[in-house]
């Protein structure tokens, strides 16, 4: 996964992308392609591989068992199936995997409207849209790792991302910094970067 800096395998990333696109899914959707008879739809992985990926994503806190009423929790034979869905961290990470931001937000509203940190997720989804791909996902990746993993080496990457964007679109950089400055944690961590850009742009981001 050279294009991404998250500590994920490609299969783990694909599971998060599918959840962001489709909403809660069962393992059946991943290791049989969502149909009983193999060959009718391409499976993402084998059943044994799915178990490993599932356990890894659960351990990383990126997915959880889904208990909401909106999703069908039985297969076509009436048998119970466990559904999995994104945690707030999983939603943040998915934004950094080049998913469609509006689709992700729509799925959260549909299946998990009380998700913790939903407002922050919506804010960062807007940043992804404003930045475009690949910069938006790269910026979200760096912000997530900085905040959740205490990886302050990401500050340099964030500065470089914004500096490159500044050369192309000064207004977008101002808009992004104003968005991020309002986040209680991110705003504090990016204080120095914001001050530097205030001087460069001759604007006031922090009121």
Q: Is the pLDDT of residue 157 over 60?
A: yes
Rounded Cα–Cα distance for residues 172 and 149 (Å): 27
pLDDT at 163: 87
pLDDT at 207: 60
Of residues 110, 55, 106, the one with CA closest to residue 84: 55
Q: Quickly state the pLDDT bin for 70 (edges 50, 70, 90).
A: low
Q: Which residues contact 38 (CB under 8 A, 6 or more apart)?
A: 32
Peptide bond into 134 cis (omega under 30): yes
Question: Model confidence over 85-131: pLDDT tens digits?
Answer: 999 999 999 999 989 999 999 999 999 999 988 888 888 898 888 88
Question: Model confidence over 158-193: pLDDT tens digits?
Answer: 898 888 888 888 888 888 888 888 877 788 888 888
Residue 64, strand partner residues: 85
């Amino acid at each position: 996964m050279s294009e991404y800096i998250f500590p994920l395998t490609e299969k783990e990333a694909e599971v998060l992308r599918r959840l962001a696109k489709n909403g809660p899914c069962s393992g059946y959707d991943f290791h049989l392609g969502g149909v009983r008879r193999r060959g009718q739809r391409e499976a993402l992985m084998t059943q044994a591989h799915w178990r490993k990926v599932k356990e890894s994503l659960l351990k990383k806190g990126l997915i959880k068992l889904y208990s909401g009423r909106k999703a069908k929790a039985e297969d076509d034979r009436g048998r119970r199936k466990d559904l999995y869905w994104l945690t707030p961290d999983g939603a943040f990470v998915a934004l950094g995997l080049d998913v469609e931001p509006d689709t992700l937000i729509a799925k959260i509203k549909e299946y998990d409207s009380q998700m913790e940190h939903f407002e922050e997720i919506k804010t960062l989804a807007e940043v992804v849209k404003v930045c475009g791909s690949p910069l938006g996902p790269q910026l979200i990746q760096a912000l997530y790792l900085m905040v959740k993993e205490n990886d302050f080496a990401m500050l340099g990457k964030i500065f470089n991302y914004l500096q490159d964007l500044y050369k192309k679109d000064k207004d977008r950089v101002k808009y992004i910094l104003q968005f991020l400055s309002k986040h209680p944690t991110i705003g504090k961590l990016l204080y120095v970067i914001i001050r530097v850009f205030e001087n460069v742009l001759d604007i006031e981001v922090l009121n």
